[in-house]
Amino acid sequence: MTNGTKDHLTRASLMAGVATPVIYFGAQAAAAPFFPEFSALKHSASVLGSNLSSMPALLNVGAMLTGAASIVAAFGMFRELRRCGVWTFVALLLAACNVSFGLASIWAGAHPLPDPEHNPGLLGAGMFAAPFVAFIAALGLQNVPVLKSYLAINALGFGVVAAIYSGVLPVDMEQYSGAVQKLGALVMMMPTAVLCLWLLRNRD
């Protein structure tokens, strides 16, 4: 494979990483009209792909496309982070987080609710580490104070979501479980997407 081909693949891979949250939330926006009772505050995204929806394929196909984009992004992210001087282990770990999230998304889309196997379990463990690994990766980059600040704040946001789920922060989950789930998805997905965007814009 020539360097030119690798460069094109790397660019396409990073673009897939930027597109990942767009596909994820876009699929929900497209599927919501086919679930008239859907509440973004109360309901998790998964119900849009359940048998309660008149068009569940919109969400489920979207979830699988999200997963595919996340997996594709791992290649470009690893390659560019290494080029920028980030430790190999950290770059590899962040790429693995992307693959983990991707596999979990594909699994969830292929096993829509009410399938008891909808939850991907340990398959998606990497998504919970991604906010912190992305921040550690950014510490290896030079002259990026805004990026580092964003990733630090995002990691704190993940802590808030974890505190809500653990009950440390009291939130009425009957009324707001959907909002908390979406916030959790946001703080887990956006760090790698933002990092991909930065890498894409600073390749030359």
Q: What is the percent of the chain with per-residue pLDDT over 70, rounded to a whole number?
A: 97
Are 47 and 56 spatial neighbours (Cβ–Cβ below 8 Å)? no
The tokens describing 30, both together, are: 């497209």
Tokens 């086919």 -> residue: 34
Q: What is the percent of the chain with per-residue pLDDT over 90, rounded to a whole number?
A: 94
Q: How far is CA 20 from the centre of its chain?
A: 7
Average pLDDT, the chain: 95
pLDDT for 53: 96
pLDDT category, 28, cuts 50, 70, 90? very high
Quick one: average pLDDT of 91-113? 98
3-class DSSP assignment, residue 2:
coil
Taking 70 as the threshold, does the pLDDT of residue 3 lie above it?
A: no
Quick one: average pLDDT of 33-59? 96
Taking 80 as the threshold, does the pLDDT of residue 167 lie above it?
A: yes
pLDDT for 160: 97
Q: What is the distance between the alpha carbons of residues 38 and 60, in angstroms, rounded to a whole number?
A: 16
pLDDT for 7: 85
Q: DSSP class of residue 54?
A: S
The residues, any chain, with a CB within 8 Å of residue 158's CB and separated by 6 or more, are: 128, 131, 132, 184, 187, 188
Q: What is the distance between the alpha carbons of residues 179 and 17, in angstroms, rounded to a whole number?
A: 23
With 0-12 / 13-18 / 19 or more C-beta atoms within 10 angstroms meaning exposed / middle / buried, residue 34 is middle
pLDDT for 203: 74
Quick one: average pLDDT of 111-125? 96
Quick one: average pLDDT of 80-86? 96
Quick one: average pLDDT of 96-112? 98
Candidates 163, 161, 88, 94; CA nearest to 127 is: 94
Taking 90 as the threshold, does the pLDDT of residue 80 lie above it?
A: yes
pLDDT for 181: 97
3-class DSSP assignment, residue 98:
helix
